[in-house]
């Protein structure tokens, strides 16, 4: 299949991009899949009411079909079309964080969405993105849009259109290139089923921010205890992984360099994922910075792009520094641990 491509300038008045976005929206109405930018990562959208359309997402990504999708909406009224019994604290979260990088899991009305969206669960994940292009394509389609990240299953999520094309060119009907995405990591997924919110996947909106609005918030135990089954089916898979096997190393730069030297003596090509502050202290086949340690949102912004860029360096092993487990650092460490298949060395 030929993948249609449109380039839009998200900073300009959207009316200049109107015809491109409406062509893409028409493909969605025809039950085709289209990739578009959101403020977190690029999404791969399809009509959430059509099983035919939703199956095309799973096929293009090679995604396990027991992993449900997030439904994206552009206005609050759309929520009532397919959800019910929303808890008061969930309403508060919506008021404070929508549109934006927060996904809420709420009870699903039966018979409104394709059962392939929810993978048979009686709950559904919903979010209202704040990216103007995402908003506009959803609005113009007039549909609830199911959209996972627009990468091949297991790869890092795409933060640029070129990442989407590397993974999915020829497998999807179209892509809107709206430039690099803002947050760089996927939305925070919060279960709003029980009496209090539970974070199922950490993201750009932190636990502290949620608590200011909704009172005490728990983290799903499976996020910190490997033996527990996660509530979010998607969290059980290895994910976000670069080609070279990745190990997170919690230690001083000298110790990480020593480890890298040992691998090099064995004839292996070693890559090191670091930050601006320490980039010059390392010596390895490939050393890359993914932002500044003193501003963790810059690390979130560049992490996936940097992980993907190591794939061109034909490495045998990749070592990543670790990050503090607080604020957006929680989301960064969650994605790095997934990418590493939980391999972490404490030096
Ligand atoms: O930022 C984002 O959330 C991006 C952009 C495109 O919106 N989307 C995204 O979707 O990251 P995806 O499919 O890559 O991740 C969705 C996560 C998965 O971990 C999935 O298991 C979980 O949400 N999820 C979806 N429906 C759920 C449900 N009913 N209950 C629990 N977890 C659910
Ligand atoms: Mg994903």
Give 148 Cα–ligand 1 centroid separation in angstroms: 6
Is 70 within 8 Å of 146 (Cβ atoms)? yes
In percent, the amount of the chain with pLDDT more than 90 equals 87
Output the pLDDT for position 233.
78
Whether 302 has a binding-site annotation, put simply, is no
Mean pLDDT of 268-282: 97
Output the pLDDT for position 77.
95
Give 290 Cα–ligand 1 centroid separation in angstroms: 24
Q: Which residues have a beta carbon within 5 Å of ligand 2, which is an ion?
A: 149
Is 87 within 8 Å of 123 (Cβ atoms)? no
Mean pLDDT of 188-201: 97
Checking if the pLDDT of 239 tops 80, the result is no
Checking if the pLDDT of 164 tops 80, the result is yes
Checking if the pLDDT of 231 tops 90, the result is no
In percent, the amount of the chain with pLDDT more than 70 equals 99
Q: 3-state DSSP call for residue 282? A: coil
Output the pLDDT for position 327.
92
Nearest to 128 by CA among 76, 170, 169, 180: 76
Checking if the pLDDT of 238 tops 80, the result is no
Whether 15 has a binding-site annotation, put simply, is no
What would the pLDDT profile of 78-129 be if each residue is shown by its tens digit? 999 999 999 999 999 999 999 999 999 999 999 999 999 999 999 999 999 9
Give 22 Cα–ligand 2 centroid separation in angstroms: 25
Give the whole-angstrom CA distance, residue 297 versus residue 277.
15
Q: Give the binding-site residues of ligand 1, using a 6 Å CB cut-off.
A: 38, 40-41, 43, 67-70, 101, 103, 105, 118, 121, 123-125, 127, 129, 147-149, 186-187, 189, 200-201, 231-235
Domains of the chain and CATH, by start: 4-223 (3.90.870.10), 246-346 (3.40.50.11030)
Q: Specify the ligand 1 atom closest to the Cα of 108.
A: 29
Give the whole-angstrom CA distance, residue 129 versus residue 324.
27
For residue 85, count CB atoms less than 10 angstroms from its CB and return exposed for 0-12, middle for 13-18, buried for 19 or more: exposed
Checking if the pLDDT of 10 tops 80, the result is no
Q: Specify the ligand 1 atom closest to the Cα of 127.
A: 7
The DSSP secondary structure of 199-267, one letter per residue, reads EEE--SS-HHHHHHHHS--EEPGGGT-TTSPPSSGGGGS--S--SS-EEEEES-HHHHHHHHHHHHHTT
How distant, in Å, are the alpha carbons of 9, 19, 23, 132, 134 from that of 15?
11, 8, 13, 11, 14
């Amino acid at each position: 299949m030929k993948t249609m491509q449109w380039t839009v300038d998200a900073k300009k008045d959207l009316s200049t991009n109107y015809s491109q976005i409406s062509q893409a929206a028409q493909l969605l109405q025809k039950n085709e899949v289209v990739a578009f930018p959101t403020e977190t990562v690029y999404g791969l959208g399809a009509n959430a009411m059509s099983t035919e359309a939703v199956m095309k997402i799973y096929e293009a990504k090679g995604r396990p079909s027991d992993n449900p999708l997030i439904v994206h909406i552009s206005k609050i009224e759309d929520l009532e079309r397919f959800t019910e019994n929303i808890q008061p604290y969930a309403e508060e979260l919506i008021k404070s964080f929508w549109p934006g990088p927060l996904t809420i899991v709420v009870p699903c009305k039966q018979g409104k969405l394709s059962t392939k969206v929810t993978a048979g669960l009686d709950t559904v994940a919903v979010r209202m993105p704040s990216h103007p292009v995402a908003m506009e394509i959803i609005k113009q389609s007039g549909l609830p849009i199911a959209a996972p990240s627009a990468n091949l299953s297991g790869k890092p999520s795409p933060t640029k259109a070129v990442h989407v094309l590397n993974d999915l060119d020829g497998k999807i009907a179209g892509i809107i290139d709206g430039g690099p995405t803002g947050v760089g990591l996927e939305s925070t997924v919060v279960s709003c089923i029980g009496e209090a919110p539970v974070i199922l996947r950490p993201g750009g909106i932190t636990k502290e921010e949620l608590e200011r609005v909704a009172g005490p918030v728990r983290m799903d135990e499976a996020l910190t205890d490997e033996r527990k089954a996660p509530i979010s089916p998607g969290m059980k898979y290895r994910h976000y992984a670069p080609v070279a096997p990745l190990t997170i190393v919690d230690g001083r730069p000298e110790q990480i360099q020593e480890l890298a030297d040992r691998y090099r003596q064995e004839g292996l090509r070693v890559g090191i994922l670091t930050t601006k502050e320490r980039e010059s202290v390392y010596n390895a086949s490939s050393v890359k910075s993914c932002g500044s340690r003193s501003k963790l949102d810059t690390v979130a912004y560049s992490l996936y792009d940097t992980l993907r860029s190591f794939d061109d360096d034909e490495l045998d092993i990749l070592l990543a520094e670790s990050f503090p487990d607080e604020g957006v650092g929680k989301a960064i460490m969650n994605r790095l641990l997934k990418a590493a298949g939980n391999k972490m060395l404490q030096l």
